[in-house]
Amino acid sequence: MGLEKGELSILFTDDRNITLLNQKYLKRDGPTNVIAFPMIGPEDDTNFAGVLGDIVISVETAKREAEKQGVTLKYTIFRLLIHGLLHLLGYDHEKSLQEALKMEKEEQRLLRLIM
């Protein structure tokens, strides 16, 4: 991914706590599956070796998604971790359909590497 070193924090939480974060920082109501808080911007060097940011995952939402999609909770957690990591590295599926497809392709590639 063009990054030799980096540090990130991961918080596994519940719907109540991720809802509070979602409201406070993203001004969105309700729980979400994953929120990423980047500590580096697109202008930063890709050889950055410091803190990338924070990834917060609602385990309750992940469980519901896993059941709905007929996959394991482990798969869903890994998918959400990768999704959050890609956000920390500057991917943004909300910019455009092209960006969403690019992010999805990279998410699937990384999932195949670890699953």
The distance of Cα 5 from the centroid of its chain, to the nearest Å, equals 18
What is the pTM assigned to this prediction?
Answer: 0.88
Instruction: Average the pLDDT over 83-103 and give the result.
Output: 93
Between 23-27, 31-35, 49-53, 79-83, the lowest mean confidence (pLDDT) is in 49-53
Predicted confidence band of residue 102 (pLDDT cuts 50, 70, 90):
very high
User: Can you tell me the mean pLDDT for 54-60?
Assistant: 98
In CATH, what class is 7-41+51-114?
A: alpha beta
Average pLDDT (75-97) is 94
User: What pLDDT does 70 receive?
Assistant: 98
Phi and psi based region of residue 70 (left: phi greater than 0; alpha: psi -120 to 50; beta: remaining): left
For the chain, what are the domain ranges? 7-41+51-114
